A and B are shown apart, each in its own frame.
Chain A
Amino acid sequence: QVQLVESGGGVVQPGRSLRLSCAASGFTFSSYGMHWVRQAPGKGLEWVAVLSYDGSDKYYADSVKGRFTISRDNSRNTLYLQMSSLRPEDTAVYFCAKDVEYALNYWGQGTLVTVSS
C-alpha cells in the first residue's frame, strides 16, 4: 500500500534553514509528481510546491518562492523540501502528497515545523 512518511521537522530560529524529507513506498515513485502542502495551527491547507516525476519541472507558491526548494532522489524514493530564511509565518504541519491527474491522492501524516526564537 502507498506510504508517505515525512521527517525533519522541529523548532528552528527565524532566518535559519531546515530540510524536510518524505520517504515513499508502495508505488513507483519515479513515475509520479509530488507536492508539499502545509497547514498552520488551526488554519486551512496551503499548497507549497510541486515537482514533476523526473524533477525537471517545479513550481512554488508565491509565499515561499525564492526561499524553498523542492527536489527528489528517485533512487532513494525520497522527496525533499529545503527551507531557508524561515519566518514565524512558516510555522505549520508540512505534508507531502502524491499527484495523480492534477489531484493529491495520497498524503503523509505530516511533520511539524515551528519557527520561533
Chain B
Amino acid sequence: QSALTQPPSASGSPGQSVTISCTGTSSDVGGYNYVSWYQQHPGKAPQIIIYEVSKRPSGVPERFSGSKSGNTASLTVSGLQAEDEADYYCSSFSGSNNRYVFGTGTKVTVL
C-alpha cells in the first residue's frame, strides 16, 4: 500500500491562500469520500482539520476547506496566518483491503 502523494512544501504570505494536493488511486481517494486532513506542529500530535473530503470538525476555522476531483483531493488554507505554519497530511480509507493510508506530508511555510 503506497503513500498518497503530496508536494513536499508550499508557502504563502499572510492573508494569501495555499492549496495542497493529495493524489491516490481509485482504490482509495477516488473510490471513497473518506479523505481527511491533519495539521501537525513540531513536536505535537496531529490534529484533524477536515474529514469526509470537505467537512470541518467544530472549532476548525472556516478558512480551511477541502475538495476532491477524481483521484486527487485538495486542502485550501485561505487567509494564511502565522499559526498555520505546520506540516499537513492527507489520509484516505482504502476499501480494497480495509486499511488506511496517509499522504507523504506537506510543510507549509508562512512567509
CB distance from A6 to the nearest CB of B (A): 10
Partner of A45, one of B47, B52, B102: B102
A105 vs B36: C-alpha distance when bound (angstroms): 10
Interface hit among B14-22, B69-77, B92-100: B92-100
- Given the interface pairs A35-B100, A47-B100, the reply to whether A104 lies near B105 with Cβ below 8 Å is no
CB distance from B14 to the nearest CB of A (A): 26
A45 adjacent to B45 (CB under 8 Å): no
CB distance from A1 to the nearest CB of B (A): 12
Q: Which residues of B contact A57 (CB under 8 A)?
A: 98
A101 vs B52: C-alpha distance when bound (angstroms): 7
A103 adjacent to B91 (CB under 8 Å): yes
Partner of A103, one of B1, B52, B101, B103: B52
A103 adjacent to B97 (CB under 8 Å): no
Contact residues, B56-105 vs A (CB, 8 A): 57, 87, 89, 91, 93, 97-105
Partner of A46, one of B48, B98, B102: B102
A103 adjacent to B48 (CB under 8 Å): yes
Contact residues, B34-54 vs A (CB, 8 A): 34, 36, 38, 40, 44-48, 51-52
State whether the Cβ of A100 lies closer than 8 Å to any Cβ in chain B: yes
Query: In the complex, which range does the number of interface residues on chain B fall in?
Result: 20 to 34
Which residue of B is nearest A100, CB measured? B51
Interface centre among A35, A100, A104, A108 (most CB of B within 10 A): A104
A45 vs B45: C-alpha distance when bound (angstroms): 10
A107 vs B101: C-alpha distance when bound (angstroms): 16
> Which residues from chain A sit less than 8 Å from chain B, CB to CB?
35, 37, 44-47, 50, 57, 59-62, 95, 100-110
A-B CB contact pairs (8 Å), 27 listed? A37-B102, A44-B89, A44-B102, A44-B103, A45-B46, A45-B105, A46-B102, A47-B100, A47-B101, A50-B98, A50-B99, A59-B98, A61-B1, A61-B99, A101-B34, A102-B32, A102-B34, A102-B36, A102-B52, A102-B93, A103-B36, A103-B48, A103-B51, A105-B48, A105-B51, A109-B45, A110-B45
